């Protein structure tokens, strides 16, 4: 009996999400003692000491189930964002929020629209969930092709996901073009904007989406504690939207999807929000340094609003460069499987600590010869 045949076609055909390799795995496989990971857009700075202390305190309570409604975290987040607590949906990472949206909204035979060169989880969820995803190629300037995405919306479309700024290209859509896009989308289609890197953004014309929620009940904003707040390992993300939308989504949420430590950690991050500006500034300084160095090595570097850089080494293969860097103990993300022509040499490099970035540049200089 072929057990795989028992599964729905969408599951059989889905390709599993391949995360960046963990440091320990590379150390083991290649026998390297000193490995740095610049592959998963994590914050290289650890969590704040105050957050670690809150986690230690919360650890004493893990014999009990978490607060299923995450009362304290939801209230604090609502205050912080100046929205009603009923407008907030918490997830086990924003990943789970995306999953809940697709599962709850899109029926078999319906579809949701996303950019093909964006967060790889969207097509995976689409595949797994009755093949409902509909990818639209990115524009030549590596930004979401909003007119093409609006044109891809049909009477069977339930949801459009905009990743802003976009992973893995680091590009963004501006306030004006986003407003124009919203005008083209019928109110029966939910527009979910994935702002996982929001706190890193410096562009003055970046859309401020939360204030739009009052006029746009079909808008849904997603953010996370995984990036600037350094809680990727705890898995806390959230969505903000109209209470009616959130209320329906809440029904699909597992009872204890955000665990005790995650709630405590995220709450402590909110209490120490003043740390965000320094984190964003240090990231920006390193990002600019890294971008200049990569350009000096002959790479094409796409301007980024995030904590990572998308770069291309035309004539080379991203996989090969990444493999050589791996052997030098530097983990980056090759993007060959990204619908790009062979030989585009596409890589995504997360901004690390200054010494990590220097090491990455030195290794890359050797690899590129
Ligand atoms: C665009 C985007 N959305 C969502 C996520 C998932 O974040 P979380 O850790 O909150 O699930 C990521 C993580 O890399 C991301 O890049």
Judge if the beta carbon of residue 115 lies within 6 A of ligand 1.
Answer: no
Q: Is residue 211 part of a domain?
A: yes
Judge if the beta carbon of residue 345 lies within 6 A of ligand 1.
Answer: no
Residues 362 and 318 in one domain: yes
* CA 31 to ligand 1 centroid distance, Å: 30
Residues 13 and 75 in one domain: no
* CA 72 to ligand 1 centroid distance, Å: 23
How does strand 88-91 pair with strand 237-241? antiparallel
Residues 23 and 117 in one domain: no
Domain count, the chain: 2
Residues 207 and 221 in one domain: yes
Judge if the beta carbon of residue 224 lies within 6 A of ligand 1.
Answer: yes
Judge if the beta carbon of residue 194 lies within 6 A of ligand 1.
Answer: yes
Residues 169 and 122 in one domain: yes
Closest CA to 42 of 164, 206, 200: 200
The minimum-distance atom of ligand 1 relative to the CA of 226 is 9
Residues 265 and 129 in one domain: yes
Q: Which domain holds residue 234?
A: 49-271
Given 271, 288, 309, which residue is the final one in a domain?
271
* CA 95 to ligand 1 centroid distance, Å: 6
- pLDDT tens series, the chain, 369 aa: 898 899 888 888 888 887 777 888 888 888 888 999 999 999 999 999 999 999 999 999 999 999 999 999 999 999 999 999 999 999 999 999 999 999 999 999 999 999 999 999 999 999 888 889 999 999 999 999 999 999 999 999 999 999 999 999 999 999 999 999 999 999 999 999 999 999 999 999 999 999 999 999 999 999 999 999 999 999 999 999 999 999 999 999 999 999 999 999 999 999 999 999 999 999 999 999 999 999 999 999 999 999 999 999 999 999 999 999 999 999 999 998 777 777 899 999 999 999 999 999 999 999 998
* CA 251 to ligand 1 centroid distance, Å: 22
Judge if the beta carbon of residue 163 lies within 6 A of ligand 1.
Answer: yes
* CA 170 to ligand 1 centroid distance, Å: 13
CATH code of the domain covering residue 127: 3.40.640.10
Q: Is residue 64 part of a domain?
A: yes
Q: Is residue 40 part of a domain?
A: no
Residues 29 and 60 in one domain: no
pLDDT at 18: 78
Residues 29 and 154 in one domain: no
Given 204, 239, 271, which residue is the final one in a domain?
271
The minimum-distance atom of ligand 1 relative to the CA of 92 is 11
According to DSSP, the residues that pair with 190 across neighbouring strands are 159
Which amino acid residue places its CA nearest to atom 2 of ligand 1?
196
Residues 253 and 299 in one domain: no
Q: Within 13 Å, how many C-alpha atoms sit on residue 276's CB side?
A: 18
- Angle formed at CA 25 by CA 19 and CA 31, multiple of 5 degrees: 145
pLDDT at 296: 97
Query: At CB < 8 A and 24+ separation, what contacts does 292-299 make?
Result: 293/357, 293/361, 294/349, 294/361, 294/364, 297/361, 297/364, 297/365, 297/368, 298/368, 299/345, 299/368
The minimum-distance atom of ligand 1 relative to the CA of 41 is 14
CATH code of the domain covering residue 7: 3.90.1150.10
Residues 122 and 152 in one domain: yes
The minimum-distance atom of ligand 1 relative to the CA of 224 is 10
Q: Is residue 195 part of a domain?
A: yes
Given 253, 271, 289, which residue is the final one in a domain?
271
């Amino acid at each position: 009996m072929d057990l795989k045949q028992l599964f729905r076609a969408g599951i059989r055909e889905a390709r599993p999400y391949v995360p960046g390799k963990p440091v320990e795995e590379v150390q083991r496989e290649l026998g390297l003692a000193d490995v740095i990971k610049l592959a998963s857009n994590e914050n290289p700075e650890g969590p704040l000491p105050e957050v670690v202390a809150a986690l230690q305190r919360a650890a004493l309570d893990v014999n009990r189930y978490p607060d299923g409604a995450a009362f304290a975290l939801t209230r604090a987040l609502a205050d912080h964002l100046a929205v009603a607590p009923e407008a907030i949906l918490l997830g086990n990472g924003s990943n789970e929020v995306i999953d809940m949206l697709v599962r709850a909204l899109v029926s078999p035979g319906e579809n949701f629209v996303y950019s093909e060169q964006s967060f790889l989880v969207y097509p995976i969820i689409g595949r797994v969930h009755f093949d409902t995803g509909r990818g639209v190629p990115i524009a030549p300037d590596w930004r979401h092709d909003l007119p093409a995405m609006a044109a891809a919306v049909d009477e069977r479309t339930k949801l459009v996901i905009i990743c802003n700024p976009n992973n893995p290209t680091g590009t963004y859509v501006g306030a004006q073009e986003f407003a124009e896009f919203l005008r083209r989308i019928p109110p029966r289609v939910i527009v979910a904007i994935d702002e996982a890197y929001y706190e890193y953004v410096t562009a003055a014309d970046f859309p401020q989406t939360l204030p739009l929620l009052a006029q746009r009940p079909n808008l849904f904003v997603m953010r996370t504690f995984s990036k600037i707040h350094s809680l990727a390992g705890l898995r806390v993300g959230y969505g903000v939207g109209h209470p009616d939308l959130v209320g329906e989504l809440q029904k699909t949420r597992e009872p204890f999807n955000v665990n005790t430590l995650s709630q405590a950690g995220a709450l402590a991050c909110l209490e120490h929000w003043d740390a965000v500006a320094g984190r964003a500034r240090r990231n920006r300084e390193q990002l600019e340094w890294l971008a200049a160095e990569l350009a000096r090595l002959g790479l094409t570097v796409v301007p980024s609003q995030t904590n990572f850089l998308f770069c291309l080494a035309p004539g080379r293969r991203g996989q090969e460069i990444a493999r050589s860097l791996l052997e030098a103990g530097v983990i980056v993300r090759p993007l060959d499987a990204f619908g790009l022509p062979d030989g585009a040499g596409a890589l995504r490099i997360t901004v690390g600590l200054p010494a990590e970035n220097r090491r990455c540049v030195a290794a890359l200089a050797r690899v590129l010869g």
